[in-house]
Chains A and B, each alone.
Chain A
Amino acid sequence: MTSVALDRRRPVAGVPLLLAFFAAAVAVRVAMTGPPGFGASPWPGVLFGVVLAAAAVAVGTSTRVGTRVFVAGALATVAIVLPALMFSSVRASLPVAWFPGWMAATALVAPAEEAFLRGALYDAVARRWNADAAIVVAALAFGFMHVPFYGWHALPLDTAVGVVLGVARLASGTWVAPAIAHTAADAVGWWML
């Protein structure tokens, strides 16, 4: 297993600071998203990803890749996607020509969200309390992040998805596993729209 750990002796940002930062980043993204008549522009999302990635790098979190990480990511992907296919269906209503560009942007944004939520924030909460609290806090942040875009009815499902991603983080010891699952689930989700 290759390890690129960025652990520091003293955390440069605690839980309140990270949550305030995350809430502000979400607020900016929501405020920038979608001029009337054109739905969602991808750029606020990409900027959001860049900001979160920068924060995760600045604060520092454990980054590892290896068999265990990929297995945890693959299992979490199955856990997230399988119920979606059971309870929903494949519509494929969006133009296929858009998929490569959208996927490239998603491959930046989804890992950035994970690096922050299941990386920096998870580490801070786990350091302060424990891993279970870290899973719950990161999942709630993940769930609330989606409320401005989809409404309150999206909160239970997105929070539950966040819990699955948090367990993948715990099992693998790094945010990379949930990043794999998040990106893969988004890729499947494209075809379900």
Chain B
Amino acid sequence: MKNLFNMSRFKIVFTVCVLLSLYSFVNAQAPAVTTVGITPPAPVTELTAVDTDNDHGHSITVKWTPSADDGAGANNVLGYRVMRSNSFEGPFNDTVGVVPLGSTNFENSSSIEEGAEGFIPDNTDFYYRVDALTGDSLVFSSSEVTGPVHSYGQWFNKGLIPVFFAVIIFTALTVLFVSAARKGKELYVRPLAGIEAVDDAIGRATEMGRPILYVFGLGVASDIATIASFTILSRVAKRVAEYQTNLIVPCYDPIIMTVAQDIVKTAYMDAGRPNDYKEDAVFFITQAQFAYVGAVNGIMIRELPATNIYMGKFYAESLMLAETGVVSGSIQIAGTDEIAQIPFFVVACDYTLIGEELFAASAYLGREPLLLGSLKAQDYAKAAVLVLALLGILAVNFSGDLGLTWLVNFKDWFKVID
């Protein structure tokens, strides 16, 4: 009897042990593991993966609705882990990104170079899964798998549509006014003191027997300000050739030096004085900013030019050049598109071309109808920008009050996503 009781107790204990083992075994297979104090969070929902728009390919954007325990509910989500696989069944061993809590999307992208780290080949199917993470790395919840999705490049960036239309309209305006100018229509442009002073400044240098110093600044040949400066140099060089004044053009960039040499040489040939051209008038100094400034300042102090013309891209050295020019007693005309340097030139120079006046200078100096026509197009484009800016102010501030519901989305029409 005693043995029988013992046998029964043994069976009970044995059965309980087996049941506990079975229970532990079953729970070990589940992706979510419960540890003391941390429960698995709710998984993310509505997981989608699409090719990233308006790019060169090799990029997939994954979006989801955050877990219910992200900032609410159990509030134990610390972040999300984005996993990738080449098949629906997995394995999902490839962690492509980890984002903080509150995130709703992740862009899985790579460079276009095939050997680059994390390279994503185009037109290859991928599957994604997002895990909601907690403070314990073993406690997380996985979402449903989404896919297949593959990346590919787009042939047109839809985010730049407003820019595209602006370019088309501006080009059309330019062609329109240039055509009008070709037909002989008189186009009025307001006088610019800085431009009108160039001829007088060259004449002053001739009378004083001192050279003219022309400085391109620190730009490179591909800068628009430098290209505008080339045009001004060609006009100045032609006048200099006609008046037989000396011209000094120290260059920061060797490509600018070669272009400037050709411009000055051609100007002397056009003026009928090819023998007066001195090759050493246009020379290279250095591509170190302050070494260049030191050299140009030295030229100013030694050569004492009567006229200094600064046209192009300038940075911190602008005031150093202009102030040294004041000390050497030169008349100074400056023009730059660098906003931060314009005040320095305004203070230290006799005449300053502010912003777009630098780009208009070529039209002013030559007075050619084609160039004046493009100036008019610029003016009308600026007027259009002004009208759009006013509409934008109304749209942002007063559209609701004025009942102009069509203005509510006005600013979105001009949104540019690059």
Partners in one complex: no
